[in-house]
Amino acid sequence: MHRSSTSSVAPPAQDGDAAATYFRVLDRMVDLSGAVRGLIAAPVRVGGPFEILSSRNVSPGLLQRLRHFTLLPGSELTAAVRTARPFLLSDAMRGELPPGSRLDRTLTAQLGPVLMLPVDVQGELLALVALNVPHGLPDAAVLADLLNASRDLLPDLRGAQLQRSELQADTMLEVLEEGVLLFDPAGRMLRANAAARRIAGVERDGDLPGAFDDRWGLMDVHGLPLPMHAYPVASAIRAGQSVRDIEAMYVRPDGRRIVVSINATPLVVDQTGRGAVVSFVDITARHHLQAQLRAQAMQDPLTGLPNRRALQVLLEQLCLQDAQGQTMLLLVCIERFKRISDRHGQQVAETLVQKVARRIQAHLAPNGTVAHLSGHEFVVLHPVRDEGHAEQLTCALLGALALPYEAAGVDVTPTFRAGFVLHPQDGFTPGELLRHADLALQQGRSGLDGHWQRFTPDLAASRHRRDRIETHLQTAIAQERLHVHYQPVTCLQNGRITSLEALLRWTDEELGVVSPAEFIPVAESTGLIRTLGQYVLREALRQVREWNSAATHPVSVNVNVSASQLHHATFPEEVRDALERAGVAAHHLTIEVTEAVAVNDLPNVTRHLQHLKRLGVRVALDDFGTGHSSLAVLNRLPIDILKLDRQFVQGVHLDHTKQVLLRNAVRLGLELGFQVVAEGVEVQPELEFLLGCDCTHVQGFLLARPAPPTAIALP
């Protein structure tokens, strides 16, 4: 029979390989059948294309088109192939082509009849031979020869299939980006692919350890040697367990350390045992990035110190370990930090924080740690011998922090406040320690070495009561359960009441009588003080209108204002509106301010008080003599009344120094044109002394205690 060498696929050089076997099988079948052309295909997967293994006398163009030929489920062709018997593919049986295929006519219309020979062993389809027979189905003898030949060639086909599968597996292994190692049941390495050699930094399989042993030198990600039983391949071979995503460190021959992620799966080799397939990828870059991100997540970007999350980890470790001595947790904050930032700008504030951080670090012993919690808060952890040692460290640190700073070209001298706790006696959890340190910080006492406080159980009880006061106070304000009492101010010249100071009082159903010394600070810290102040102003004006409508001698009412009220931009307008709504003349209202409130923002306070003066409202400076700038305040503020603090008055008849101070304070006020009121008069000798030094007005328990308006009788 004529053969066209130009249209046949020549066999490879080695007759024993799979390609040569397929060529030999096809050559035998073509000769026996007298076909003009033929091909042999791999087992056909339903729904997939033909995989042509060898061909004879098939043009390259037709071969390319046939590669797109498929068997679809339920088709006549698919059913015929599954019978595993020879059949003739004629014009009556159509092939299935994918949409858009150029074979828009039936296959047999172009080629003529095609004899299909499935090569099957016990239901396993090894190959499909297609022979183009132009004269139709061969006679029975030829078919018998073809079937016998296919059976004779089964060993060759099975060997070729195995070799082909191995070749495909080898090809896939070599193109994988993952390193792959094969081990036998004894732990000997059978194979390493190209990626494994590349990742491990070697050129040949022989450069790798030949077995599963300690020559691999695997370590955990922290650099500690990995015991042999922890190797992933050990789990696969010895325990028959698959492991995934095990991270380990490996040192390459060039000394470079890499981190790899390893998977290991048992591989049943035969009935005598199991080997393992180990795959791994180089995750060094990812590992370093994750480590960098973890470090950044635990580090404050501004100061480089451990942040709140890192501190939480440190505290958890501290609370879990057995206490070996005591550890101080010191919470330090920069006071009025927002004011520094608002006044000098963000750059100055941030530079100040950085310099404070460095100063704290420089002051600590090597076993001390500092973390940055927020813009103005730091936490120091430091081992201490006892409470006295903790106090010494606190005072020394605050003393060092109190020195001036140069921040972005600005000289800044901030003040600091601190509170500390001792572990384990002051808390067993990170939350307790931080909460108790914050309680101590809020109560920090003033001293030459800064404002600091050691936590005590009393502080916790005080905080609990404060929290209850805050909750109940909100309800009391909403339901107007607070009441205004009044304490008269008496003129010493005629004995008449000239004014009454409005004082807020509160009795709670659960808390009982709550002192203003307790609830006023709570109101100030929670922002409720303005609401309280507005309520007192409304009630006082309503009450003074009621009194003056029936009194022979009109009186005025004195209302204390907080810093929050006085500094608010609309405060003068609020007072004017309250006067208008109450229908009270402005001169019947006196606004009382303390020195502490006034000096905190003197220009703004002065401007607001001058506005009130223009309305006709009088201004009293309360608690005179308790501040640090009394004379300066007298010179700046538009004052009508000077109220001398009770410290001047108490026991004045028994103390010569107090007598001199009080006499001169009264004289100073009178000479400046102020009405002078002495507060806190409680005994008769104090009153007699005041009469002798020309004081004009007095206020105190000796004359009248604060009382509800119904208990006050005015002439």
Distance from C-alpha of 149 to C-alpha of 32, rounded to nearest angstrom: 9
* pLDDT mean over 625-648: 82
**Of residues 213 and 520, which shows the higher confidence score?**
520
pLDDT 10s digits, 428-463? 899 999 999 998 998 765 444 568 999 988 888 888
At residue 358 the predicted structure's pLDDT band, cuts being 50, 70 and 90, is very high
- Are 233 and 309 contained in the same domain? no
pLDDT at 654 > cutoff 80: yes
Distant-in-sequence, close-in-space partners of 644: CB < 8 Å, separation ≥ 6: 624, 625, 662, 665, 666, 669, 676, 677, 678, 679
Each residue's pLDDT tens digit, 267-277 = 876 666 688 89
Model pLDDT, residue 295: 80
Q: How far is CA 220 from CA 37, 239, 262, in A?
A: 62, 21, 12
Is residue 82 scored above 80 in pLDDT?
Answer: no
Phi then psi for residue 586, to 5 deg, are -60, -30
pLDDT reading at 285 higher than 70: yes
- pLDDT at residue 328, as a whole number: 95
Residue with tokens 């799966």: 265
pLDDT computed for residue 544 by the predictor: 96
User: 669 and 560: one domain?
Assistant: yes
In this prediction, residue 216 carries a pLDDT of 87
Query: 678: which 2 tokens?
Result: 């002495």
Q: What is the pLDDT of residue 578?
A: 96
Task: Tell whether 554 is covered by a domain.
Answer: yes
Is 267 within the bounds of a domain? yes
In this prediction, residue 69 carries a pLDDT of: 65
pLDDT digit string, tens, across residues 43-53: 655 555 667 88
How confident is the model at residue 685, as a pLDDT?
A: 95
One domain for residues 679 and 568: yes
**What is the per-residue pLDDT across 109-151, written as a single tens digit (0 to 9) for each?**
666 788 888 877 776 777 788 888 887 778 888 888 777 777 7
**In this structure, are 268 and 307 located in the same domain?**
no
Chain centre distance of CA 685: 66
Q: Is the dihedral of CA 582, 583, 589, 592 positive or negative?
A: positive
Calculate what percentage of the chain has a pLDDT beyond 90.
Answer: 51
Residue 163 and residue 181 in one domain: no
Confidence class for position 155, pLDDT limits 50, 70, 90: confident
Closest CA to 489 of 680, 276, 206, 209: 680
Of all helices (H) and strands (E), which one includes residue 114?
strand 114-121
604: in domain: yes
pLDDT at 191 over 90: no
415 and 448 share one domain: yes
* pLDDT for the residue numbered 177: 85
> Is residue 271 in a domain?
yes
CATH code, domain carrying 119: 3.30.450.40
**489 and 623 share one domain:** yes
Instruction: Name residue 660's amino acid.
Output: V
Q: What is the pLDDT of residue 485?
A: 97
> Three-state SS across 512-574?
EEECHHHHHHHHHHHCCHHHHHHHHHHHHHHHHHHHHHHCCCCCEEEEECCHHHHHCCCHHHH
Do residues 128 and 246 share a domain? no
At CA 221, angle to CA 219 and CA 225, rounded to 5? 20
Q: Give 613's Cβ-side CA count (13 Å radius).
A: 13
Q: Are residues 567 and 435 in the same domain?
A: no
pLDDT at 67: 67
Task: Output the domain CATH number for residue 499.
Answer: 3.20.20.450
* End-to-end Cα, the chain, rounded Å: 146
Average per-residue pLDDT for the chain: 85
pLDDT band at 259 (very low <50, low <70, confident <90, very high): very high
Check whether 93 has a pLDDT greater than 70.
Answer: no
Judge whether residue 7 has pLDDT over 70.
Answer: no
State how far the alpha carbon of 534 is from the alpha carbons of 496, 504, 540, 576, in Å.
28, 12, 10, 12
Q: Is residue 478 part of a domain?
A: no
Region 179-191 average pLDDT: 87
Query: 3-state DSSP helix/strand/coil percent for the chain, to nearest 5?
Result: 45, 25, 30
Residue where a domain terminates, one of 121, 148, 167: 167
The span from the CA of 669 to the CA of 676, in Å, is: 6
- In the prediction, which pLDDT does 13 show? 35
Rounded CA separation 519/529 (Å): 10
Q: What is the rounded average pLDDT of the residues 165-171?
A: 65
The answer to the question of residue 90 being in a domain is yes
Angle (CA) 423-426-430 rounded to 5° is: 65
d(CA 441, CA 453): 6
Q: What is the mean pLDDT of residues 8-19?
A: 49
Q: Which residues contact 403 (CB under 8 A, 6 or more apart)?
A: 413
Q: Do 121 and 44 reside in the same domain of the chain?
A: yes
> Residues 395, 450: contact at Cβ < 8 Å?
yes
Q: Is residue 523 part of a domain?
A: no
Domain that holds residue 254: 176-288
| Count of Cβ atoms closer than 10 Å to residue 539 Cβ | 20
pLDDT score recorded for residue 234: 87
Which pLDDT belongs to residue 2?
37
Query: Distance between CA 503 and CA 271 in Å, rounded?
Result: 97
- CATH number of the domain to which 238 belongs: 3.30.450.20
Q: Which residue, among 603, 608, 573, 576, has the nearest Cα to 589 in the 3D structure?
A: 576
CATH number of the structural domain spanning residue 371: 3.30.70.270
Identify the residue whose tokens are 């059976």.
Answer: 151
- Same structural domain for residues 255 and 116? no
Contact criterion met (CB below 8 Å) for 97 and 103: yes
* 625-627-628-634 Cα dihedral, nearest 10 degrees: -60
| DSSP helix/strand/coil, 219 | strand
Same-domain pairing of 631 and 702? yes
* Residue 102 binned pLDDT confidence (cut-offs 50, 70, 90): very low
Q: Kindly report whether the peptide bond that precedes residue 49 is cis, defined as omega within 30 degrees of 0.
A: no
Q: Which amino acid is at 498?
A: T
Does the pLDDT of residue 98 top 60, yes or no? no
pLDDT of residue 269: 63
Question: Where is 388: in which H helix or E strand?
Answer: helix 387-401
State the Cα–Cα distance between residues 322 and 387, nearest whole angstrom: 19
Q: Which residue has the tokens 């060094």?
A: 284
**pLDDT for the residue 447:** 43
CB 46 within 8 A of CB 14: no
What confidence score (pLDDT) does residue 107 get?
55
pLDDT above 80: residue 695: yes
> Could you tell me if residue 137 is inside a domain?
yes
CA dist list (Å): 475 to 482, 521, 531, 630:
10, 17, 13, 38
How many CB atoms sit inside 10 A of residue 480's CB?
9
Instruction: Say which residues have a Cβ less than 8 Å from residue 365's Cβ, sequence separation at least 6.
Output: 382
Return the minimum-mean-pLDDT range out of 240-244, 346-350, 512-516, 618-622: 240-244
Q: Is the pTM of this model over 0.85?
A: no
Does residue 12 register a pLDDT over 80? Answer: no
Least confident of 91-100, 279-288, 635-644: 91-100
> How confident is the model at residue 5, as a pLDDT?
36
Question: pLDDT of 298-326, one tens digit each?
Answer: 899 999 999 999 999 999 998 988 767 89
The count of structural domains within the chain is 4
> Which among 288, 313, 343 is the end of a domain?
288
Q: List C-alpha distances in Å: 163 to 18, 45, 169, 170, 510.
A: 6, 19, 10, 10, 91
Q: Report the distance separating Cα 253 and Cα 477, nearest Å.
A: 78
